[in-house]
Structures are given as C-alpha cells and as structure tokens.
Amino acid sequence: MFPNPFDYYAPETCDDVYALLHEHGYDAKVIAGGQSLLPMMKLRLAAPEVLVDVNNVADLRTMAVSDTGLRLGALTRHAEMERAQWPDYPLLSATAGHIADPIVRNRGTMGGSLAHADPAADWGAALLALDARVTLADAARSREVRLDDFFVDTFTTVLEPTELLTAIVIPAPPRESRPFGQYLKLERKVGDFAVVGVAVTASLDDAGRVVTAGIGLASVGPRPLKAQAAEALLVGQTLSPAVIREAAEAASQAADPVSDRRGSAEYKRTMVRVFVERGLAKIQADWELVNRASA
Amino acid sequence: MTRVVGQPVIRSDAWRKVTGASYYTVDVTLPAMLVGKLLRSPYAHARIVHMDISRARQVPGVAAVVAGNGRASPWGGHIWDQPVLPADVVRYRGEPLVAVAAESEAAAEEALRLVEVVYEALPSVFDPEQAMEPGAPLLHPQMMEYWRNEAVCRPIPGTNAVNRTRFRVGSVTTGFSEAAAVVEATFTVPGIEHVTLEPTAAVAWWERDDRLTVWTSTQCPFVVRDQLAHVVGLPLHKVRVIVPDVGGGFGGKGNMRIEPYAALLSRECHRPVKMVHSRYEEFVGSTIGHPAKIRIKLGATRDGVLTAIQTTAFYDTGAYGDSGEMVSWQGGLGGAGPYRVPHVAIDSYAVYTNKVPAGAFRGMGWPQMLFAIESAIDMLSARLQIDPVEFRLKNLLENGDRFVTGEVLESVTLRECLLKAREAIDWDAPTPPNRGRGVALVMKSSVNNSTASAVVKIHEDTTVQLVIGAPEIGQGSHSAMAQIAAEILGVAYDAVEVTNPDTAFSPYDRGAISDRTTFHLGQAVYEAATQARQQLLAAAADWLEANPADLEICEGYVMVKGVPARTAPLAAVARRAYRVKGGPIIGEGRHLEEGIVPLDPLTGQSPKAVSHYKYGAQAVEVEVDRELGMVKVLRVVSVHDCGRAINPIQVSGQIEGAVVQGLGLALWEALQFEDGQVMNPSLMDYHVPMAPEIPEIVPILVECPHPHSPFGVKGIGEPGIIGVAPAVANAVSRAVGIRIFDLPLAPERVLRALQATQGRAR
C-alpha cells in the first residue's frame, strides 16, 4: 500500500523546523525514525500533507551527562541505548533490547516513540519509571514537562502542532545510593508489542533501603502509566518479600487494562503484579550481589 | 546395498533456493499481462438481491469484470457444492463475488469499489454442533442434488452434515460394562492457517482459439487441470497447467484456488491475468485447517487393557466441502487411535458453517483426532495409576492386529517407535519442579485412488530426464525421485534432472499430497527407470554380443558380469542407441494401489481401506511458569518409521518442519472468529512459530521396510505434526497437574486452569 501524496522537507536546524511547523500546523507531521508513522501512512491511518524530516538536525542528536542528570537528544536511537553503558541509568539499556526487532531499534528514536504516545511502547513505561522530563520547543519558547504530564491519552500528548520534542531529561539517581533497573515484557511472540510491559527501577543505599523507586507500565491503560502509589510504598523500605508483594499488588491496582486479543483485563492485571514482583526481587538480588562483592 | 538411495545428497533445488534463483508463479511475467482482484463478501450468509457492475467496467484501465456463476459450473473436491462466483447466495465472509482484471492494481481496486451489491442478510451458524441441530439454518438445502464421490462423501439429508463416516466394532455397551475405569471428555482444536511462504498465485492466459494455459502455485497440477476444465467447459487437452517452483503447500494448495478467477477474466479479454493473494486473503479467502470438537469416552480394565471407545468428532468445514469430507473420513479412521480396542463406535462428521472453507491440512484430520485420543489415554492411565508409556505399550497396535476397519495391519512399528522415544527423552529420570515429560503415539493413513506415473528419458550423453507430474513444494521429492532413478539406472545422482510439472507433457499424477509422492510416485519412477535400464542394456547387449541378463551397469560402464574385459562406456551405448538403432530410450512407469475397498457405510469395515498407514511416537519435555501460565517446550523427540530413508537429511528435515508446525498448533496458532469473521488475519496477530521459540528437536528414524514399496519407503511428510500437541498437553499435566482440553495451550488458558486447581495462588 502506498501513502497519500505529501510534501517533504528536511531542514538542518531547529529554527527551520519551527518555521515549517508554524507554517503548516496540523497539516504537518515530524518524522524521525519513521517506524510508526510510515506504516500508518501506508495503511492510510495517517495522511499528513507535509512531512518534516528532522534527521538532519544535529542539535537533536546530542547526549550530555551531568551531576543532575542525563540529557538525550530526541533523535537518540533505540539501538544507541541498547549499546550504551551508563551505570547510573541501568534501566535504559535493559529496556532498549526489548523494543521490537533490531531493524526498528536501529532506526526508531526515543523522541519519536514518546511523541507518538502509543500506550504499548516500551520507552513510555521506562521513562515514567525514571521520572523523566521532556523539552518541548517552538520558535517563541521552550518548556520542560514531566513525562507524567506529557502523556494525555492514546496517541495524544500535550505537544502543540507547532512544537517539537527536542530532548529527554532523566534526573540522576540520588547520591549515596546505587540504581538498579529491570524491564519485563510479556509478548505473544518475538518482536511483538507488549501484552504487558513493566519497568522497575530503584536506588538503594548501603543498608538496602530504597531511596527512590520508579514503576512504569506499558499496554495496560490508555497511556503509559506510572504506578505512583506502589512507588511510594517502596521508599524508605528494604525490599523484603512482604514489601515487594505489597508494592506489586498496588501496581496491579494502578493498571487499567482492557480485554482484547492479547489477553483479558484480569490476566493483564495479574501479569503486572507478577512482573513487578519479579522485577523488584531481581533488584534486591542484584543489590545483594553487589553488596557482597564490595563487602 | 544401494549406491544413491539412502545417501544424504544435497537437494537438487538447494542452489536455486539459497541464491534466490528460484522461479515462482509470482515471477511469471507475460506481455500485456493484467492484474486480477476479487471483491469479497462482507456477510457470513446473505442473499444477493441486486448487483451492478456497470460502473466498475467504466474505470479506465479495466479490461474485464466477471460476476455470477452463469458461465462456470459449480465444483468441489468430493462434492461439487461450490460456485466459482455465486449469483444468488454468499455463504462466508470473504467469499469472492466479483473478479476484475485491470492494467494496474489501483484501477482494479477502484473498480471493485464501484461495484454495487444489495444483500439481504440470512441467518447464519458458526458452530458445527449447533449446525447439526434441527432447525439450524441450512447452507446447502440442495446438498443431495450435488454430484459427489459416494465412497468418501455421505451427507445426512436435510442437515448441514456433508459427511458422516462411521465405524462399529463389537458393542461399546458391553465394552464399557467390562471397564473398571472410564474417562469422558470433550476436546477442541481451533482452525489454523497453512501460512505458506509463497501465497496462492496464478497466471491464466485464455487465447482466442480457446486454449487455456495456467501457471500456478499448486500441489496438484492435474487436479487443478481437471477442475478448471470442468468449470469452464473445455476438454482436457485445451487446458494446460504449468507449475513453476512452489513455496510450500501443507495441504492448502491441493485444489483449485485462485486459478478459475484468472481464467474467467482472461476468457473475457484474451490477455494474461495474474492474481496473487495478499496475506490477508490467505487468512480470509483460501482454506484453513479444520476447527474440530471431539468427544471421547474411553474405558479400560483395572489392569489397563482398553475395553471400549466411543468417539464423536465434528469437523467444522466452513461454507464448502473443499476436502472436508475427506478430512472427516481420514480423521474418523483415527477415532480409536493406534490402539487395539475390542468395542468401538466412531462417528466422524464434516459440517457446513458460515465460515471460510476448511480443507486439507498436513495430517488430514489426524492431528485433531489424536490430540483428543492421546490426551484421553493419559487421563485414563492417570486414573488407573499406570505409567503412560506402559499403558500404551499394553494397548498399542501390533503386526497382525485388526484395525477399526477390520483389516489386518502389517509393518506396524508403534512399539519400537515408543521405546525409542522413551529412551531418548530420558523418561524415567527425575524432573525438577514444574517440569514434566509427555508422550503421544502417531498414526496416519494415506490417500486412495492415488494414480502415479513417470517417464524416464535417457539422453545421448546418458544424462537423464525424469518427467513427473508431482510438484516440488519444498518437501524435497524431486531429489528423492532423482535418487531412485539414479540408483536403478546406475548413473550419478546429479545426472538426473527432474522437470517441473506441465500437464501438456508430464504423465498423470495425483499430486504432492498425503505423504504419497515417495510411496506412490516412487513406485512409478522405479518402474520407469527399470524399463529404461532394460532398453539401455538391450542396446549394449547387441554391441557387446551378450545376453542382456548377463550385463550390469557399473561406474559409467556397461560390463558383462565376470568378464572385466568386455565393457562399453555408458555414454557410447546411449549414443549408439540413438544413432545406429535410431530410437529414443524412454521408460514408463505407473502405479495405482490395488485392492482398495470402500468402507461399509454403516460399520466402516473394509479389507483394505487405504494404501498404507504410518507410525511414530512423540516425546517432549516442558517447563511451566506457574505465575505466567507460560509453557516452554524444552525438547522434542520425534520418532517415525519412514520404512527406508531415501535421503536421511531430508527425512529429518521433514520431521523437524512438521514438529515446528505441531508446536504452533500446541502453543500458539488459532484463528479467532467473531460471527464468522477472522479477527486475526495477519502475521502480526496470528502467531506462527518463530525461530527463537523453537526448542531442540531430535528426529529419530525407524526403518522398517514396507513390503510393497520401492526400497521399502513409507510416507513421512505429515506424521511429524501429529501427536506434538497431545504430547505437550500430557507433559504439562505431568508437570503441574492440569489437563488442558482446548488448543492452543496459551498462557492465559493454562493460568486459569492452574488457578482453578489451586484456588488463587494467593
């Protein structure tokens, strides 16, 4: 199948992108990796009149680590995260390897995935767990929005048609703690969208107490979800089986799945509980391993 | 000792496949060729009140539009129930209504969009058992008026049952009264798609002088030729079917599919028309493997000796028979499994419903039937607290036993296969928690009326042309046939070239179905090669002044036995035969299994029901994730009696491929229907097995030569798919104590069963 005809621009600066978006508004779509937009255009589920290809914009390809956090340009490819080794952000590489297949990972971008806002996408869950923010900019202004405030509904975000998602900012884990991360995904078959995806991250101090915790859920709601009540239950606690069980139960209550061909709502909710439990148990086991090694 | 037969030679099409040089039907391109498309019914059952194709005809680039069955006769497999393009009633969502040929795909699709059809919805029925109830909407009220092959198609008048096959041995009432334990259960198997790599495709060219040539991706060129000639009303010599390379069949390409539409369109415009199914059309508009519902009642004595079995099977054949009557007939043969049971009552039905037609699928009804039987056998062995392998060894069929047909079986190797499987899976070793092993026996009948013929031509340089009518569909039969010919002729394997079928030149063959090529066509090739060899030796005898009976062929020479000095180079013999004696060297062979007797309609008794039966055993080890409900198959041991492996590598390949398909049926594959609509008609939503999911598969060959076949071969294409699902279900039962009655063993289904037995885990 072929897409409808469209005009194509490939600007090299953010300012040129802003100008094009300003000019074409709702008629334009930004294309980065094109791993979601192009199939939708071929199926004629999307028919933008103008495509603004941002792959040539160098400013969107930056990565910067600082004491306060990690700033990733919107064009960061999934595969770059799969290969990246940032000890402070273990959830990123843990998640990237689960995304689709190597071809999609080589081309698809983190910014594109977030802006597309598919509730089944893996980055949404992982970056919610990491409490990330996104930078949205147009010619007049730039604003930073918490990811939890960014996602509105299925395929819907607060991004204005004139705005470009330029970067993702992930806060650094607290000092005096060690971060851990696990991404667990139930898929019907290799490379499929998640039936249920669960991102779990926690920073533990030397005593094994949770300093910060994050739990993000994919495919179990109209948008990627952050299981805040479950996160709150973990902070200040050591990851005992009872604490883990309680948090897992709370996370499963935060899920809002629907029954479909991938599974019943009840099954998906159960899977959230099992995966959060397994993710936290693995984090505890990893912490014990590290602690024993350093002792 | 054989020289070529039994050797793991490289298959003759390997180079073509690996380098992309293969030439499939979709590669066929002819001058002025058009593209054909079909309009498909959006209703499961509806009367066509009004149809207007005039606007479609006016679309620029459209060369032909055909609708209605006025100029094409109804057709079918064993019952002619199917209109090519229905004029009055549509019976499933996806049924073709209008065909268009145009210069471009876009023009064809635009034309289809402009066809106006007014439907009047009719009551529909989707469940085979409901479809048999009195008062159910009838799909074919005129069923009894259709032509049918009465030997395998026995409809029940006034119902949707297009076939009932019955077997009666002894009295099940008596049998169950002798039983100390009886299990009763209902099993279901979903519809599955063949998912051939190459979709259904055809190019048809109807020339102005009424000669029809069709290039098509089929398993049965002569069947397609006969069916095409029948529907368009041409004599056989005016219909020529050519089969390029074929990318898989699995039963889905055994009858005419898209060919008649291309032919009818070409008849209108006398230009070649190419039609290729999209993957979506493969799901909604080709044929599928039969969904089935099977009830089993099985009894045994306290010592574990089977006393009686009562089996009722409903094969849901969809809107048209296609091969459903044969599927229920063959599946019915398996209704007591591969067991010695004194009292048997089997009723096997094929039932019309308003769904996409189900047809032949690797295993032909046996995979469904043996899922039920082999599951029930394990349930009964558990009830009696007898080891499942021991229980089977006590009851399985042996040489000289009578089958449900009453025929005396020969060359039965179930015991040997099961013992090998038990050993290879390490049956008695302890398993860690949540792990278990399961077994299942395998049996399969082969098709009847299976005419095969072959021609062997020896060229002047002693290279050989083997002309046969059975396509190479990926199963490796061309290589096996070449090996048989080379063995007999005393030439090298690669000196034999096997031609792809062309009904204008190839001798008749029933097709690449039902494990029949090596067994049936192999006998024809054997005979043809033997005849050609005799001609070659006669020519040499004349030259060497010896009696042909005293000659042998050895490493490129004809020599007089025991007189090494008197030899002649084979090539020189052949050249001399052409140039001096002036005649071609051509051998012919034919084979038709004799003595087949149709089943008695009431009792299923026959002294010889089919040409031969195949035997095997499957054993698997699984691990169950109790929290996710996920079943992981760790290892499959698949033991089969192939009689004699013409090529051991290819036999193993056939087994591995079939086991993978069996794992799909066991764990993942299922067409999901809602009101007759396929809800997962894509490879995104329909889960065929993928490489990372496949466990270790250990094929083991048992070679017990068949008494009547060349080199003792038995068929091996189908058996590997049979028995995988029940072996997995039995292993899951032994691992975590749950019995799954419905395929596939999907995580959610397994988890529910676990929760039902334990109460909620927490």
Which segments in chain A show pLDDT lower than 50?
A: none
CB contact under 8 A, B748 and A192: no
Residue B533 pLDDT greater than 90, yes or no = yes
Interface contact B278, partner A, CB < 8 A: no
Mutate to test the interface with A, among B751, B752, B758 (most CBs of A within 10 A): B751
Locate CATH 3.90.1170.50 in chain B. 32-122
Interface contact B751, partner A, CB < 8 A: yes
Exposure letters B545-559 (e unless 16+ CB within 10 A, then b): ebebeebebeeebbb
Instruction: Give A-chain residues touching B762 at CB under 8 angstroms.
Output: 245
A264 closest CB neighbour out of B685, B690, B748: B748
Question: How much is the average pLDDT of B169-173?
Answer: 98
In this prediction, what percent of chain B has a pLDDT beyond 70? 99
CB B482 within 8 A of CB B463: no
Exposure letters B64-86 (e unless 16+ CB within 10 A, then b): bbbbbbeebebbbbbbbbbbbbb
B288-404+412-447+598-761: CATH architecture: 2-Layer Sandwich (3.30)
Handedness of CA B350, B354, B360, B365 (dihedral sign): negative
Interface contact B692, partner A, CB < 8 A: yes
Instruction: Give A-chain residues touching B680 at CB under 8 angstroms.
Output: 261
Question: What are B500-514's pLDDT values in tens digits?
Answer: 999 999 999 999 998
Q: Report d(CA B474, CA B253) in Å as an integer.
A: 13
CB contact under 8 A, A274 and B684: no
Residue B762 pLDDT greater than 60, yes or no = no
Task: Show the DSSP H helices in chain A as ranges.
Answer: 14-24, 37-42, 78-83, 90-96, 102-107, 110-116, 122-129, 147-150, 228-234, 241-254, 265-294
Single out the residue of B367, B452, B364, B318 nearest to residue B152, CA to CA. Answer: B364
Locate CATH 3.30.365.10 in chain B. 288-404+412-447+598-761, 449-592
DSSP B427-464: TTS---TTEEEEEEEEEEE--SS--EEEEEEE-TTS-E
Q: What is the mean pLDDT of chain B?
A: 95
Single out the residue of B572, B549, B574 nearest to residue B561, CA to CA. Answer: B549
CB contact under 8 A, B693 and A189: yes
> In this structure, what token pair is assigned to residue B100?
């268009």
Instruction: Give A-chain residues touching B664 at CB under 8 angstroms.
Output: none
B627 closest CB neighbour out of A245, A264, A274: A274
How is domain B449-592 classified at the CATH fold level? Aldehyde Oxidoreductase; domain 4 (3.30.365)
What local confidence, expressed as pLDDT, does residue B555 receive?
81
Instruction: Give B-chain residues touching A188 at CB under 8 angstroms.
Output: 668, 687
Q: Give backbone dihedrals phi and psi of A177, rounded to 5 degrees, phi first.
A: -145, 165
A261 closest CB neighbour out of B685, B690, B762: B685
What local confidence, expressed as pLDDT, does residue A1 receive?
65
Instruction: Give A-chain residues touching B668 at CB under 8 angstroms.
Output: 188-189
Instruction: Give A-chain residues touching B748 at CB under 8 angstroms.
Output: 263-264, 267
Question: What are B607-632's pLDDT values in tens digits?
Answer: 999 989 999 999 999 999 999 999 99
List the single residue in B with minimal CA-CA distance to A260. B679
Residue B717 pLDDT greater than 80, yes or no = yes
What local confidence, expressed as pLDDT, does residue A292 receive?
86
Residue B26 pLDDT greater than 70, yes or no = yes
Mutate to test the interface with A, among B278, B628, B749 (most CBs of A within 10 A): B628
Q: What is the ipTM of this complex?
A: 0.90
Instruction: Give B-chain residues touching A192 at CB under 8 angstroms.
Output: 684
> In this structure, what token pair is assigned to residue B728?
């997995």
Exposure letters B479-508 (e unless 16+ CB within 10 A, then b): bbbbbbbbbbbbbbbebbbbebbbbeebbb
Of chain B residues 603-632, which have a CB less than 8 A from chain A? Answer: 627-628
Within 8 A by CB and 6+ apart from A5, the residues are: none
With 0-12 / 13-18 / 19 or more C-beta atoms within 10 angstroms meaning exposed / middle / buried, residue B579 is exposed
Question: What are B56-105's pLDDT values in tens digits?
Answer: 999 999 999 999 866 788 999 999 999 999 999 999 999 999 999 999 99
> In this structure, what token pair is assigned to residue B120?
């009047």
What local confidence, expressed as pLDDT, does residue A191 receive?
80
Q: Report d(CA B419, CA A43) in Å as an integer.
A: 54
B672 closest CB neighbour out of A186, A190, A261: A261
Question: What are B701-712's pLDDT values in tens digits?
Answer: 999 999 888 899
List the single residue in B with minimal CA-CA distance to A265. B748
Identity of residue B541: A
CB B644 within 8 A of CB B708: no
CB–CB contacts below 8 A, A to B = 29
Residue B673 pLDDT greater than 70, yes or no = yes
What local confidence, expressed as pLDDT, does residue B579 receive?
86
The C-alpha of B476 sits at a distance from chain A's nearest C-alpha, in angstroms, of 29
Compute how many other C-beta atoms are within 10 angstroms of the C-beta atom of residue B226.
18
- CA distances for A251 relative to A226, A271, B751, angstroms: 9, 11, 20
Residue B760 pLDDT greater than 50, yes or no = no
CB contact under 8 A, A264 and B684: no
What local confidence, expressed as pLDDT, does residue B415 receive?
98
What local confidence, expressed as pLDDT, does residue B69 receive?
66
In this prediction, what percent of chain B has a pLDDT beyond 90? 92
CB B741 within 8 A of CB B294: no
Interface contact A197, partner B, CB < 8 A: no
pTM: 0.95
Q: Report d(CA B223, CA B257) in Å as an integer.
A: 11
What local confidence, expressed as pLDDT, does residue B761 receive?
45
Mutate to test the interface with B, among A187, A270, A272 (most CBs of B within 10 A): A270
Question: How much is the average pLDDT of B4-22?
Answer: 94
B687 closest CB neighbour out of A186, A188, A274: A188
List the single residue in B with minimal CA-CA distance to A192. B684
The C-alpha of A274 sits at a distance from chain B's nearest C-alpha, in angstroms, of 7
What local confidence, expressed as pLDDT, does residue B277 receive?
97
What local confidence, expressed as pLDDT, does residue B488 receive?
96
Interface contact A189, partner B, CB < 8 A: yes
List the single residue in B with minimal CA-CA distance to A188. B687
CATH code of domain B32-122: 3.90.1170.50
List the single residue in B with minimal CA-CA distance to A262. B685
> In this structure, what token pair is assigned to residue B210?
């009424």
